[in-house]
Structure 1
């Protein structure tokens, strides 16, 4: 449907496009024959187009200040100075009130050579399938200028095709690192294990998703035709390998969980066709100088490419008052946990000379203490309950894994036996094998569900409960279980506690690693 609308648009906008033949899918949305079509296709000069995917970012859309926290990076100490774990926040430029999400758009593919020609206005000569190859050799400045030129062309020739909201119209630019990484990991369509993992896929090999320097392949020094591999969870192609994608902001070190203060050179993400398997993963960040020390000109990396995002301004005339009012309301809220109300009351008591007011303040101080103690006790009990749930998940996951292992062995043995049988006996055994396979499928699906709940339990204890409270809750629960002679559950609790200590250090574990931790 998107492609039909795109073709109709080109036909209906004469004379601007009258001389331009619409491009074939291979130059616009080459994976559409195997996968769902792109969410949005914007027209280009020369009869071309560029495909985009919508990236949903769930937030409270009623508040313009609401954004979504997520964790960037990975826990590998080898490159931690560059891509260690750190918290960040994101919100899309547009709101879907009915769905309760904000969203932005990101190009489905890296910009190809045909699209580069179209933005440059080089419409002479035919556009060939080979020009679906990702465009490399850009400078950062050229990438910025390409997004400017394409936006200007759209504004002047096809403004109605740009997403808009209120008096805000979308425009194109380079992606920020949070925008790129959130989309590359799969955004809201990826479950917790997939989103946190080193790569966005758990099945298949890197070659199914990326053009890279495979063992023994040798580097041809060229990018490849885009869209020929499998997509990520939101439908993006060539996220890994092929061209390395230029980012909007400069490189900064990771200062042990936060962004360092010194800006540096340009950043690329996703790796390139010239990198090996171990060098390609979602959190990969590469820094290059903006200028070549040899030529003195802007650096044009051999594989520097571009994947644009479609976004909009934040503050506009129709949003100004709502933003200002929401900000003022947030600023006027009572002080949060960073301010100690008991300390403030103590200071007031020290300064108060009126006996009656001192007595009232003393009563208020007591009420605060009682409320604080009640809240602390509630959090403590909640931590114990969560730990108990974690212990139960460990037991369930281990039981499920053992049953899967048993059924797998039985099925393999049954398969070997069937090959020696014939007639009725063979048919009966085949029926048993089919039942075993169905049972295995159901068990694996259940195990995946338990692993998601298991990760959520670990994340809750790490993110919402202080270490001191966790440790007290664990000690108390272990004592309770020992007194009740719940030996098996105590064993599972101790195993879960060990898993929790591992998760604190490696919260970005993929599904396979998390399962291994649970069953070890």
Structure 2
């Protein structure tokens, strides 16, 4: 009798599970774990607009070979309001506005490049690491520091939490050693991997880009990790929020940058941002697209992601 009861129980469970196969066919989104990072092995890739169809202003050419000789960690998600608010609570900084869109796991926005590197240094100290940046505006220009606190231009010597270099960002967005051949980070279908101006509001928008239409449609940021990841398991590298990089922007940098571990540390007028955002068109979300921002310019479409050199 007990064997019969056990058999019937197992049979019932199997029937229930077979009837729920749809649940297992649909991958659930990963829970957002604060500070979670993805290990990225170094390697060689072709950097720049390999399709040859980005606008000339982006200056994502010439396509050139880049080798990263070191491994690094890249944030699985952009830094969220939850994470940045903890920094503000701990340091007494004023919290940036969320434009009434909500905080939580939405990417932090309205932070300047200086705010971002201050967060990096705070996070380094919380994790017992040497800080990565000099924070004084002048004359440091946000220079990098090695493990002993000396100024360095060699990214492999920087131990603390920092913003990714432009080369690290593009390499990771392309899937690292996987080198996925996609226009966007993880897919050729932008809707699978990115929030951009057409899909970030109440309704899907068609036609030409129109700022008034975008505002009326309540286009905005979205919680991180709600689109598909790329081959490395990294989310939101296309769309949602522009991501600040450590590099100074030089429109002609690709014509003269070193082929090994490039990092533009020469001061200029702007810093590099990558990835596009909820406010911009699909072109800006391309993994090869380059754009710029001022160091002291906080906007509702700019945030950042953390990187660390593996030591």
Partner of 1:399: none
Contact 1:269 1:285 in 2 (8 A): yes
Specify the alignment match of 2:214 in structure 1: 218
Provide the alpha-carbon RMSD of the alignment: 3.3
1:34 to 23, 28, 31: 28
Contact 1:87–1:258, Cα closer than 8 Å, also in 2: no
| 2:56 aligned with 1:51 | no
For 1:138 and 1:185, the matched residues in 2 are separated by 26
The 3 A distance-change label for structure 1 pair 76 and 112 is: same
If you compute each CA radius of gyration, which structure gives the higher value, 1 or 2?
A: 1
Counterpart check, 1:135 vs 2:108: yes
What is the rounded CA distance, in whole Å, between the counterparts of 1:278 and 1:70 in structure 2? 19
Q: Where does residue 263 of structure 1 map in the other structure?
A: 268
* C-alpha distance in structure 2 between counterparts of 1:108 and 1:172, whole Å: 14
Deviation track 1:269-305 (CA, whole Å, cap 9, x = no partner) reads: 0001101223321111111233xxxxxxx21122210
Question: In the alignment, is the contact (CA less than 8 A) between 1:88 and 1:178 conserved in 2?
Answer: no
1:306 alignment partner, one of 279, 304, 307: 304
- Correspondence list, 1:370-409, <5 A: none
Q: Deviations over 1:184-226 (max 9, x none)?
A: 0011123xxx34x4224456x3122111111528343632111
CA distance in 1, matches of 2:105, 2:54: 38
Partner of 1:108: 76
The structure, 1 or 2, with the larger RCO (C-alpha pairs under 8 Å, 6+ apart) is: 2
Give the match for residue 462 of structure 1. none
Change (3 A) 1:77 1:210: closer
**Partner Cα separation in structure 2 for residue 223 and residue 69 of structure 1:** 30
Quick one: distance in 1 between partners of 2:293 and 2:159? 30
Do structure 1's residue 186 and structure 2's residue 186 form an aligned pair?
A: no
Partner of 2:250: 252
Does the aligned pair in 2 maintain the 1:174–1:309 contact within 8 Å? yes
1:177 correspondence with 2:153: no
Structure-1 separation of matches of 2:187 and 2:220 = 28
- 2:125 aligned partner: 152
Q: Trace 1:338-487 onto structure 2 (pairs within 5 A).
A: none
CA contact (8 A) 2:74 2:308 kept: yes
Q: Return the alpha-carbon distance in structure 2 between the equivalents of residues 222 and 251 of structure 1.
A: 26
Mapped partners of 1:273, 1:198: distance in 2: 17
Quick one: structure 1 residues 154 and 80, their matched pair in 2 at CA, closer, same or farther if it must change by over 3 Å? same
Unmatched 5+ stretches in structure 1: 1-32, 42-48, 59-67, 94-102, 124-128, 157-163, 291-297, 314-520
Tell me the CA shift for residue 256 of structure 1.
Answer: 7.2
Alignment length (residue pairs): 228
- Which structure carries more helix by proportion? 1
**Does the Cα contact within 8 Å between 2:111 and 2:303 map onto a contact in 1?**
yes
Change (3 A) 1:80 1:302: closer
Alignment match, 1:289: 294
Unmatched runs of 5 consecutive residues or more in structure 2: 1-26, 92-101, 130-146, 148-156, 199-203, 206-212, 258-263
Instruction: Give the structure-1-normalised TM-score.
Output: 0.39
State how far apart, in whole Å, the 2-side matches of 1:262 and 1:110 are: 25
Between the aligned partners of 1:84 and 1:211, the Cα distance in structure 2 is 25
- TM-score normalised according to structure 2 size: 0.64
* Alignment partner of 1:242 is 2:244: no
**Paired residues of 2:239 and 2:285 also in contact (CA < 8 A):** yes
| Alignment of 1:71 onto 2:37 | no
In structure 2, relative to structure 1, the CA distance for the partners of 1:175 and 1:267 (3 Å cut) is: same
Do structure 1's residue 278 and structure 2's residue 283 form an aligned pair?
yes
